[in-house]
Chain A
Amino acid sequence: MNKIVSKEYFSDKVAKLVVEAPLIAKARKAGHFVIVRTKEKGERIPLTIASSDIDAGTITLVVQAVGKTSQELIDLNEGDFIQDVVGPLGKATHIEKYDNTVVCCGGGVGVAPLLPIVEAFHKAGNRVVVVLAARTKDLVILEDEMRKISDEVIIMTDDGSYGNKGLVTQGVEDVINREKVDLCVTIGPAIMMKFVSKLTEKYNVPTVASLNTIMVDGTGMCGACRITVGGKTKFVCVDGPEFDAHQVDFDEMLMRLNSYKELEK
């Protein structure tokens, strides 16, 4: 059982939960995720870790209510307990120093797991430009936190209510056109990552996507998370969650994400 130490709403569907998990806080690195089960009869869902505090023994999760379980999770309050939290799982982000810019782009709650990755690349001495995308101004999250750990933050909103009007791809393309980019990291809805990948492929910019698929155990046992990368089947939980975006079959991934859509209705 893991206690929720604090909770903050970013919007009515997105909440930040700080959860007691001292071992995970100590072991986790950028790119890792956890599997969470909210209650005794609940299902197991994967969530990427946004940050951790080793001294306090806590990890931070940013959760968007997209289904029954994620809704249950954000309905929990400060002081409540989460049944199970296990991790850190997956492979950590490969961090290195590049000669030129690293662009990190995120959409929706994908911005949260992007945070530690931005931080790690920045700490390694890279110039890091962050592109944050949201439908509208109120849904832009973690902007201040990003500004503290990067060289520049570009905001894109679909309706132009904040930052620049346009999609995440436009923001990324602008950066690629004005400076030399050595790496792009993208985390967000699968459809967003697909289009970011298409864009950077055009410009030959190596791109890493962090994928969030359906999982059960999260340790390689079930294969629910499998995707095709470069024509080969990979398990997101143990081979990923980060992959060369240009090799990922996003259409298949989008299809598989709908596996239980009809049953959830």
Chain B
Amino acid sequence: MATIEQLKEERAQQWREDLRKSMKNKERTDIPRVKMNELDPAYRITCNEEVNCGLTKEQAQTEAKRCLDCADPSCIKGCPVSINIPKFIKNIERGHFEDAAQAIKETSSLPAVCGRVCPQEKQCEAQCIHLKMKKPAVAIGYLERFAADYERENGLMKVPQMAPANGIKIAVVGSGPAGLACANDMAKMGYDVTVFEALHEIGGVLKYGIPEFRLPNDIVDAEINIMKQMGVKFEPNVVIGRTLSYDDMHEMGFKGIFVGSGAGLPRFMNIKGENLIGVMSANEYLTRINLMGAAKAECATPVLNGKNIAIIGGGNTAMDSVRTAKRMGAERAMIVYRRSLEEMPARQEEIHHAMEEGVEFMTLHNPIEYIGDDKGHVRQMVLQKMELGEPDASGRRSPVEIPGATETIDVDVVVVSVGVSPNPLIPSSISGLEVSKWGTVIVNQETMQSDVKDIFAGGDIVRGGATVILAMGDGRRAAENMDKYIKWQE
């Protein structure tokens, strides 16, 4: 992370000065915000191709001109990992795309991923100076993606500068965004890093959860390949706490362990008929399709399909599920959400894309019962209609039942996407690890270190349910502090 002095120093560089003077602010703010190039909705629901196609060089450079290169850039404060946003955007403006990618990588490990899945409208873009002038924010996310894609597509991705190998072994548990970010930084600092993954694929939620139409697997694999070239070892099919115990890991010589095992257990609502055939968690639905390839003829894993598919919930996972259902051929793909559109936690872009793709939004509805046929297959669901009451602890207006107002509709598949609880495997297998009542691992918020001194943790196992960027930030912070801890020990 750059200090304020560094930011100022870089901003004062001659090329930045020249660039700022090359155009008047008024001219910059008059440029309309770029629109992302997208696949046509009618076409994209027939395939798994990425919906957002990225920006062209011209579009990116024009959009970059909108950035005023503020003296006190508030966008950086909105970024959970404090990417030097003006620096990378100004590099795009002057056509130094590779430098732009490098500038992002000073602080972010997975820019091509974050450029796609970060909720920028709630983070960096929410702080953009343009909003104060009643203009749309600079498309920071699109530009981040552009820089990262430019680098990858032109074969410019390379092993970063690495400290000499120090021969100290450290272990990373879980290969999702938190684990990859931690592994990346530890490898750069010269450590001998092994990443253990319970599944057969590396990438965690980036592979099993987020669909390819939002994040193609190639992009994740490109990042993993660079890490392999950096000497990071990946061990799939190893469940820490089961295959290898904490003691085993010490015996193997690991001096530090980062736990990024993610959110494990899907939550259900405990309503009648929830165990009928055809009712499943979003994790199961997405894992079968994304990780196991259930939609592909050559893959053995099946997935239940139907004409009418209802997804319960309003988060990004619910949007991923419902848009997947559409692509699996559902005639009616529905979001059933107990609050209104306004309270929906999913990203605006995902909601917008889902609407374009013909997803039905049944807001202010809540399932109270599933009805099955004689074979136990779900056929209908009973929905309670809701209205909005007073704001609750989360600040959102809480939904209240409208007495007697129910509706029964036909469904063949129901995907429950109402959240997850942390994976219990690690907390339950390491004695002394302090766990909250929600099952999350308790760590020092600054250092990500747990009560068991050589164990650090981050991502959903600590936060319960967070974003890719927060998980990544945790992984990086843990790496920095694990390095300090190990050096202090010696």
List A residues at the B interface (Cβ < 8 Å). Answer: 23-24, 27, 37, 41-44, 68-69, 83-89, 216-217, 219-224, 226-228, 233, 235, 238, 252, 255-256, 258-260, 263-264
Question: Are the CB atoms of A83 and B277 closer together than 8 Å?
Answer: no
How many Å from the CB of B101 to the closest CB on chain A?
Answer: 33
Query: Inside 8 A of B301's CB, which chain A residues have their CB?
Result: 42-44, 216
Question: Are the CB atoms of A43 and B292 closer together than 8 Å?
Answer: yes
27 inter-chain pairs at a CB distance below 8 angstroms, sorted by A residue, are A23-B238, A41-B298, A42-B300, A43-B292, A43-B299, A43-B300, A84-B200, A86-B199, A87-B242, A217-B198, A219-B264, A221-B264, A221-B287, A222-B283, A223-B281, A223-B284, A224-B284, A226-B268, A227-B275, A233-B274, A238-B265, A255-B376, A256-B275, A256-B277, A258-B375, A260-B302, A260-B304
Question: Are the CB atoms of B200 and A89 closer together than 8 Å?
Answer: no
A224 CA / B283 CA spacing, docked (Å): 9
Question: Are the CB atoms of A258 and B238 closer together than 8 Å?
Answer: no
- The A-B contact count (CB < 8 A) is 120
How many Å from the CB of B384 to the closest CB on chain A?
Answer: 21
A27 CA / B246 CA spacing, docked (Å): 12
A226 CA / B284 CA spacing, docked (Å): 11
Question: Are the CB atoms of A86 and B238 closer together than 8 Å?
Answer: yes
Question: Are the CB atoms of B275 and A252 closer together than 8 Å?
Answer: yes
A259 CA / B300 CA spacing, docked (Å): 15
Of A83, A219, A258, most B-chain CB atoms within 10 Å: A219
Query: Inside 8 A of A238's CB, which chain B residues have their CB?
Result: 264-265, 424-425
Query: Inside 8 A of B243's CB, which chain A residues have their CB?
Result: 23-24, 27, 86-88
A263 CA / B301 CA spacing, docked (Å): 10
List B residues at the A interface (Cβ < 8 Å). Answer: 198-200, 208, 236-239, 242-245, 248, 264-266, 268, 270, 274-275, 277-278, 280-281, 283-284, 287-288, 292-293, 296, 298-302, 304, 375-376, 423-425
A41 CA / B300 CA spacing, docked (Å): 6
Query: Inside 8 A of A69's CB, which chain B residues have their CB?
Result: 300
Partner of B200, one of A37, A227, A252: A37
A44 and B244 in contact, given A89-B239, A223-B281, A264-B302 (Cβ under 8 angstroms):
no
Partner of B266, one of A42, A85, A89, A223: A223
A226 CA / B268 CA spacing, docked (Å): 11
Partner of A83, one of B200, B296, B304: B200
Question: Are the CB atoms of B239 and A219 closer together than 8 Å?
Answer: yes
Of A24, A43, A233, A256, most B-chain CB atoms within 10 Å: A43
Query: Inside 8 A of A220's CB, which chain B residues have their CB?
Result: 264-265, 423-425
- Nearest-CB residue, chain B, relative to A216: B287
Question: Are the CB atoms of B292 and A44 closer together than 8 Å?
Answer: yes
- Nearest-CB residue, chain A, relative to B205: A221
Partner of A255, one of B264, B265, B277, B300: B277
Question: Are the CB atoms of A88 and B274 closer together than 8 Å?
Answer: no
Question: Are the CB atoms of A217 and B265 closer together than 8 Å?
Answer: no
Query: Inside 8 A of B300's CB, which chain A residues have their CB?
Result: 41-43, 68-69
Question: Are the CB atoms of B239 and A86 closer together than 8 Å?
Answer: yes
A222 CA / B321 CA spacing, docked (Å): 14
Partner of A224, one of B200, B208, B280: B280
A258 and B265 in contact, given A223-B283, A263-B302 (Cβ under 8 angstroms):
no
A233 and B275 in contact, given A27-B244, A259-B304 (Cβ under 8 angstroms):
yes
Query: Inside 8 A of A42's CB, which chain B residues have their CB?
Result: 299-301
Query: Inside 8 A of B242's CB, which chain A residues have their CB?
Result: 27, 87-89
Question: Are the CB atoms of B244 and A23 closer together than 8 Å?
Answer: yes
Query: Inside 8 A of A252's CB, which chain B residues have their CB?
Result: 275, 376
Query: Inside 8 A of A219's CB, which chain B residues have their CB?
Result: 198, 239, 264, 423, 425
A252 CA / B277 CA spacing, docked (Å): 10
Query: Inside 8 A of A256's CB, which chain B residues have their CB?
Result: 275, 277, 376
A255 CA / B276 CA spacing, docked (Å): 8
A23 CA / B299 CA spacing, docked (Å): 28
A116 CA / B243 CA spacing, docked (Å): 18
A216 and B292 in contact, given A84-B236, A86-B238, A255-B376 (Cβ under 8 angstroms):
yes
Question: Are the CB atoms of A217 and B238 closer together than 8 Å?
Answer: no
Question: Are the CB atoms of A85 and B302 closer together than 8 Å?
Answer: no
Query: Inside 8 A of B200's CB, which chain A residues have their CB?
Result: 37, 44, 83-84, 86
Partner of B268, one of A223, A224, A259: A223
- Nearest-CB residue, chain A, relative to B420: A221
Question: Are the CB atoms of B287 and A258 closer together than 8 Å?
Answer: no
Question: Are the CB atoms of A235 and B277 closer together than 8 Å?
Answer: no
Question: Are the CB atoms of B424 and A255 closer together than 8 Å?
Answer: no
A223 and B280 in contact, given A23-B243, A88-B243, A255-B376 (Cβ under 8 angstroms):
yes
Query: Inside 8 A of A217's CB, which chain B residues have their CB?
Result: 198-199, 287
Q: Which 7 A-B pairs have the closest CB atoms?
A: A255-B376, A222-B284, A43-B301, A86-B237, A43-B300, A223-B281, A263-B302
Query: Inside 8 A of B198's CB, which chain A residues have their CB?
Result: 86, 217, 219
- Nearest-CB residue, chain B, relative to A86: B237
A258 CA / B264 CA spacing, docked (Å): 25
Partner of A222, one of B268, B274, B281: B281
How many Å from the CB of A260 to the closest CB on chain B?
Answer: 5
How many Å from the CB of A211 to the closest CB on chain B?
Answer: 14
- Nearest-CB residue, chain A, relative to B199: A217
A252 CA / B372 CA spacing, docked (Å): 12
Query: Inside 8 A of B296's CB, which chain A residues have their CB?
Result: 41
How many Å from the CB of A198 to the closest CB on chain B?
Answer: 20
Given contact pairs A233-B268, A263-B304, enumerate 19 new A-B contacts (beta carbons under 8 Å). Answer: A23-B243, A41-B296, A83-B200, A84-B236, A217-B287, A220-B265, A220-B425, A221-B264, A222-B283, A226-B275, A235-B265, A238-B265, A255-B376, A258-B277, A258-B375, A258-B376, A259-B278, A260-B302, A263-B302
A2 CA / B248 CA spacing, docked (Å): 21
Question: Are the CB atoms of A41 and B237 closer together than 8 Å?
Answer: no
Query: Inside 8 A of A68's CB, which chain B residues have their CB?
Result: 300
- Nearest-CB residue, chain A, relative to B423: A220
Query: Inside 8 A of A228's CB, which chain B residues have their CB?
Result: 275
A24 CA / B242 CA spacing, docked (Å): 8
How many Å from the CB of B364 to the closest CB on chain A?
Answer: 27
- Nearest-CB residue, chain A, relative to B274: A233
Question: Are the CB atoms of A259 and B277 closer together than 8 Å?
Answer: yes
Question: Are the CB atoms of B425 and A222 closer together than 8 Å?
Answer: no
A187 CA / B266 CA spacing, docked (Å): 27
Query: Inside 8 A of B270's CB, which chain A residues have their CB?
Result: 233
- Nearest-CB residue, chain B, relative to A91: B428
A259 CA / B378 CA spacing, docked (Å): 11
Query: Inside 8 A of B248's CB, which chain A residues have their CB?
Result: 27
How many Å from the CB of B196 to the closest CB on chain A?
Answer: 11
Query: Inside 8 A of A43's CB, which chain B residues have their CB?
Result: 292, 299-302
